[in-house]
Amino acid sequence: MRLLLLLASAAAISKVPKAPRTGRAAAISSETPQKPTTGRAAAKADPKPLAVSGGAKQKQVSYAWAVLHNWLYFLSLGLCIPVLPKVIASTVNDDGAAVITSKSARVAGDVEGIDKLLTFLFVGALGACSDGVGRKPLIALSALGYATTVLVQARATKVAHFFAADAIDGLTSCMNAVCAAFVADATSQDSGAARAAALGVFQGLSVGGAFIVGFPMAAVLSKGGQYRKPMYLAASLQLLNAFLALFVTPESAPASKGIKWDEANPISSLGQLDLFKKSTPLKKTAIAFSLVWLGNLALNACFVPYVDAKFGWGPQQSGPLLVVVGLMLAVVPKLVVPRLGVVGAANFGCLVYALGFICAASAPVWKSTSELDYPS
């Protein structure tokens, strides 16, 4: 949904025509030659700073660096999402079998809940730190945090290890937010349309593009029940990500103005809820956005256990389907938003999303009923 809105804004702004000159102004513009401006008047007329002799022109940082870092991060996520429920199951089950049970599914949900709670509490502080000390250190921190998380999960022998791993992730998870801020820094001199388009490209390529690669890689690497193998590759990619952030990637943030800790408190933002009372469109948008993400997060939490229970799918079967999801994320917004506009694209997205849930819930069972029941 965020990607649809960003691309729609870009399309709307870029298509606004300039008002044509009419009457006397048009005649003067077309028939009267413009007198060249010189001297002091020229200096006032030209807002661009004069180049200093011998000075180097400041280069604008490319937001491709943000795409690269976020792509590596979500590539690691794509490697872990299909196999993590199996790894948890092999640890939780008494017999060590990588069979998703009701017990392992509950543990996976509780672990994910801790992760998201800590992310909510700390992502604001991490974002404030990135404004104060720069984007690079926080990109590296998030990469190292996820590398540690994945390594602990891959080596886990107790349920407590998964909670500790996701606590680390929740305390350091800020990659997508900081990389989006990097894009905003890199396009600060561009028009609103160009910035919106850049953010759209950033989300589409770094998230959808990563999943297109990560999910099939997880399916290939986990063949033969080697469900922890993709996780080691994911951790290695994040170590590479941190190295690039610290030693290769240029800094995009302007000069530090210190950390504004008042912006780091997630609870303080609740004080702005009165804005929703004053703006009906804002209230409706917030409600719709919350409902969409409630469904999205619920789907993310239970998709792998659900298809395993209903269809008997492992990473080799669910991986190709998730590739299609990544492809749609990267391609569909660019096709839909220019044709339907902001409101139309949002309504279309909600309708298709609802139909998808209905189809998934009512899909025919491909396994016998006895095999569908989770063992207690």
Q: Report how far residue 55's alpha carbon sits from residue 66's, in angstroms, rounded to the nearest whole number.
A: 28
- Per-residue pLDDT, 273: 64
Asked if 5 and 335 touch (Cβ cutoff 8 Å), the reply is no
- Per-residue pLDDT, 275: 67
Comparing 46-50, 103-107, 174-178, 353-357, the range with the smallest average pLDDT is 46-50
For residue 302, what pLDDT band results from cuts at 50, 70 and 90? Answer: confident
| CB-based contacts of 139, cutoff 8 Å, min separation 6 | 69, 175, 178, 179, 182, 241, 242, 245, 249
- Per-residue pLDDT, 322: 75
At CA 204, angle to CA 353 and CA 187, rounded to 5?
Answer: 130
More confident residue, 251 or 307: 251
- Per-residue pLDDT, 257: 66
> Shortest CA distance to 162 belongs to which of 108, 101, 235?
108
- Per-residue pLDDT, 262: 67
Comparing 39-43, 137-141, 157-161, 217-221, the range with the smallest average pLDDT is 39-43
What percentage of the chain carries pLDDT values higher than 90?
33
Q: Report how far residue 262's alpha carbon sits from residue 340's, in angstroms, rounded to the nearest whole number.
A: 39
- Per-residue pLDDT, 14: 38
- Per-residue pLDDT, 6: 41
**What average pLDDT does the segment 145-165 reach?**
97
Residue 194: CB atoms within 10 A of its CB come to 14
Go through the domains of the chain in sequence order and give each one's CATH number: 2-6+59-251+275-363 (1.20.1250.20)
The pTM of the whole model exceeds 0.75: no
pLDDT tens string 232-284: 999 999 999 999 999 999 999 876 667 776 666 666 665 666 666 677 777 78
**What average pLDDT does the segment 303-321 reach?**
79
* 293 has pLDDT over 60: yes
- Per-residue pLDDT, 67: 95
Please state, rounded to an integer, the average pLDDT across all residues of the chain: 78
**What average pLDDT does the segment 183-209 reach?**
83
Residue 116: CB atoms within 10 A of its CB come to 16
- Per-residue pLDDT, 192: 72
What percentage of the chain carries pLDDT values higher than 70?
76
Asked if 186 and 62 touch (Cβ cutoff 8 Å), the reply is yes
- Per-residue pLDDT, 25: 37
